[in-house]
Amino acid sequence: MKIFLRFAPEINQEPHISEVILETGAKLNINRASVDAVSGEVVVDVPDEKLNEVIKLFRSRGVEVSILEHPVILDEDECINCGACISVCYVRALSFKDDWSIALDEKRCNQCGACITACPHGALEFS
Amino acid sequence: MVEKTVQDINQKIKDGSVHVVTAEQMTDIVDELGPEDAAREVDVVTTGTFGAMCSSGAFLNFGHSDPPIKMQRVWLNDVEAYGGIAAVDAYIGATQISESRGMEYGGGHVIEDLVARKSVHIRAVADGTDCYPRKNIETEITIDDLNQAIMLNPRNAYQRYNVATNSSDRTLYTYMDTLLPNYGNATYSGAGVLSPLYNDPDFETIGTGSKIFLCGAPGYIIGEGTQHEPQNDLATIMVTGNLKEMNREFLRGAAFHGYGATLYVGLGIPIPVLNENIAKKTGISDADIITNVLDYSSPRRLRPTLRKVSYEELKSGMIELDGKEVRTSPLSSFFMARKVASTLKHWIEQGNFMLSQPMEKLPTDTLFGPMKQTKETPLVKDVMSRKMITIRQGKSVEDAAKLIMKGQSTHLPVTSEDDRLIGIITAWDISKAVAQGKYDKLDRTMTRRVITATLDEPIDVTARKLEKHNISALPVIDKDGKVIGMITSDDISRLIAKRNGCSFQAPLEEKR
């Protein structure tokens, strides 16, 4: 399961992620991070069996945590089913169904954002 | 021998006995029955395509304001339409981009918003005349407030299209969408088996005056499209239809990142199966339609062709390039192309759409020529300086700083023992290293992914590289990767100044 972490400026100097990994033994996979001088936003993939423990620990350290149920959202009204998103998706979260409409497998998505750039009709966006 | 006329088929449409299939179904029917029996069985084959067709737009008539204005320049939602026609007529083109929102919103989106019956902001300016005294106007309209809204697309329904890929080490953003580096993907367009013009490649039934499906409404072929090149299976058609009757489902404004706006057009042509020859041609399959894979990393008019490929291979999702499996993406929607063909089939079966006999045949022998250029395009070799200083790998940052001071150049190409380019170091890189207190070996400070120019490259291409990467100089390399010169933004500015006929060195004195 993917979680979204927000680090407020006042706690930004601590190595929170490293300490959560060491303490829980969870193999966290950082999918996306944007960190600047004052704050940080990070999307992390957490093994399901460690999810509650990891969330609890982040929260106790003052990190804002929300569960990312939909890493990327496909707006079916805007989608024209062209397929421009498919070949830029390296984790193969996007594919054609048998009827040539677009299928999205959210579990595979690592939020690289390539499909959002490639979509000509603005049908994809981060949640 | 089967011989039918368009009139025979129209009679069948009227009495409800017509047999219509889509071009996809026809492939199997011809395969199974053979062309003669297929011609006996099937009366009409419907085709369809739904792709980005940049050469599209619409003529709009706003009616007169009071007092009246001759709208010389006119904007719809900040997208400029062509106003150089009669007072209150304008042509909105699909690729014109918004002056306030940039590439993400353009003429294609305005057309979609009109068809969706959304309110659109109109702004126009004029010089003012005795008959049209007004100088500017602003108003809000919907498509229903217009006297006419007539789609007229100069080039639609390409018979097939090239496949795009990218051999360079950088991502490209093109009208063929995102092209990942090192053959990271390939994009294609066109409906293959459903392609309207591929199902009647010799224009035996399609021509000027043919009635077609255009964006959910009836439309007509006006004649050959611009860039019509049937000799290379790149035929196109010019089409028109009433925008007021169109359906947003079959018409969408779109934007390709880094390229700009366009319009997705849904277009279908019914092909009357008059004889077994036509039946045979409509029996074409994806495997029979071959197109070229081009390397879009070349910014020149003629891009290198890497290989030929069929639509069957493209639709499998993977093609082989240079021994590598490369994933493919269509830019046109096959899902929607099917919908166009099946909607048109339904219209004909219901008796709501009669076939028309073309007034004139489309040309079959035209070629698409290049632009005649009367001024020579300067090349890098005409402008670059051959006197340049380079530094060997293994030297120190201090050595580089000394060379820069001595040579009065801010860019130093770093070369290997055999003179090949392996990096570049600039005065800025050195300043940064010194400021961070980390300056010993060149290897750690230099940039390794160097942007380069070649001798025969037009300077417009070089200027674009400088602008895109926000840099001021490029090493010029030969085919072996050896550095043979440098070209700087100053060299290019000097040339442009010379071209414009003023002296770059001596600025004009300000006159009072």
Strand order in A2-7's β-sheet?
A: A29-35, A40-45, A2-7, A64-68
HEC readout, B466-487: HHHHCCCEEEEECCCCEEEEEE
Q: Is the separation of the CB atoms in B192 and B286 below 8 Å?
A: yes
What are the tens digits of pLDDT across the range A43-64?
Answer: 899 999 999 999 999 999 999 9
∠B315-B321-B325 over CA atoms, to 5°?
Answer: 65
B93 residue type, one letter:
G
- Determine whether the interchain pair A81/B328 forms a contact, defined as Cβ–Cβ distance below 8 Å: no
How many C-alpha atoms does A11 have within 13 Å on its Cβ side? 16
B164 vs B122, B182, B186, B294, B475, CA distance in Å? 38, 12, 5, 5, 28
Shortest alpha-carbon distance between residue B163 and chain A (Å)? 13
Q: How far apart are CA B424 and CA B420, in angstroms?
A: 12
From chain B, the residues in CB contact with A87 under 8 A are 180, 185-187, 327-329
From chain A, the residues in CB contact with B253 under 8 A are 121
* Residue appearing with tokens 């050595």: B399
- Determine whether the interchain pair B252/A121 forms a contact, defined as Cβ–Cβ distance below 8 Å: yes
Confidence of residue A111 (pLDDT cuts 50, 70, 90): confident
Q: Which helix (H) or strand (E) holds B183?
A: none
Instruction: Nearest by CB to A83, from B186, B257, B329: name it.
Output: B329
B74 vs B57, B123, B124, B137, B145, CA distance in Å? 15, 6, 4, 9, 16
Sequence-distant (≥ 6) Cβ neighbours of residue B446 within 8 angstroms: B414, B423, B424, B425, B429
Q: Is the separation of the CB atoms in B317 and B309 below 8 Å?
A: no
Shortest alpha-carbon distance between residue B79 and chain A (Å)? 18
**Helix residue ranges per DSSP H, A2-66:** 16-24, 51-60
Instruction: Nearest by CB to A117, from B252, B257, B330: name it.
Output: B257
- Determine whether the interchain pair A86/B180 forms a contact, defined as Cβ–Cβ distance below 8 Å: no
Q: How far apart are CA B196 and CA B84, in angstroms?
A: 34
pLDDT of residue A38: 73
pLDDT of residue B501: 60
Q: Which helix (H) or strand (E) holds B100?
A: none
Confidence of residue A33 (pLDDT cuts 50, 70, 90): confident
Q: Is the separation of the CB atoms in B169 and B182 below 8 Å?
A: yes
pLDDT of residue B510: 41
What's the complex ipTM?
Answer: 0.84
Q: Which residue in A87, A89, A91 has the most chain B C-beta atoms within 10 A of its own C-beta, making it the best mutation to test that interface?
A: A87
Which residues of B are catalytic, by number?
A: 131
Instruction: Give the DSSP letter of residue B259.
Output: T
User: How many other C-beta atoms are found inside a 10 Å radius of the C-beta of residue B478?
Assistant: 14
Q: Is the separation of the CB atoms in B213 and B171 below 8 Å?
A: no
B342 vs A32, residue with greater confidence:
B342
Shortest alpha-carbon distance between residue B250 and chain A (Å)? 9
B164 residue type, one letter:
A
From chain B, the residues in CB contact with A100 under 8 A are 333-335, 338
Instruction: Nearest by CB to B335, from A81, A86, A118: name it.
Output: A81
From chain A, the residues in CB contact with B330 under 8 A are 82-84
- Determine whether the interchain pair A120/B334 forms a contact, defined as Cβ–Cβ distance below 8 Å: no
From chain B, the residues in CB contact with A83 under 8 A are 329-331, 333-334
Encoded tokens for B461: 């291409």
B416, B421, B427, B432 alpha-carbon torsion, rounded to 10°: -80
pLDDT tens per residue across all 512 residues of chain B: 899 999 999 999 999 999 999 999 999 999 999 999 999 999 999 999 999 999 999 999 999 999 999 999 999 999 999 999 999 999 999 999 999 999 999 999 999 999 999 999 999 999 999 999 999 999 999 999 999 999 999 999 999 999 999 999 999 999 999 999 999 999 999 999 999 999 999 999 999 999 999 999 999 999 999 999 999 999 999 999 999 999 999 999 999 999 999 999 999 999 999 999 999 999 999 999 999 999 999 888 889 999 999 999 999 999 999 899 999 999 999 999 999 999 999 999 999 999 999 999 999 999 898 999 898 888 999 889 888 889 998 888 888 888 888 877 789 999 998 889 999 999 888 888 888 887 788 888 899 889 999 999 999 999 999 998 889 899 999 989 899 999 988 888 888 777 766 544 444 444 34
Q: How far apart are CA B318 and CA A96, in angstroms?
A: 13
- Determine whether the interchain pair A118/B252 forms a contact, defined as Cβ–Cβ distance below 8 Å: no
B353 vs A: CB within 8 A: no
From chain A, the residues in CB contact with B50 under 8 A are 80, 82
Q: Which residue in A77, A78, A81, A82 has the most chain B C-beta atoms within 10 A of its own C-beta, making it the best mutation to test that interface?
A: A82
Closest to B191 measured CA to CA, from B214, B219, B160: B160
Q: Which helix (H) or strand (E) holds B257?
A: none
Note which residues in 161-190 of chain B have CB less than 8 A from chain A: 173, 177-178, 180, 184-187
Q: How far apart are CA A28 and CA A26, in angstroms?
A: 6
Q: Which residue of B has its CA nearest to A98?
A: B335
Shortest alpha-carbon distance between residue B109 and chain A (Å)? 10
Instruction: Nearest by CB to A83, from B178, B256, B330: name it.
Output: B330
Sequence-distant (≥ 6) Cβ neighbours of residue B155 within 8 angstroms: B53, B55, B225, B226, B227, B228, B236, B237, B238
Q: Is the separation of the CB atoms in B20 and B44 below 8 Å?
A: yes
- Burial class of residue B179, CB neighbours in 10 A (0-12, 13-18, 19+): buried
B346 residue type, one letter:
H
From chain A, the residues in CB contact with B263 under 8 A are none
pTM, two decimal places? 0.88
A81 vs B500, residue with greater confidence:
A81
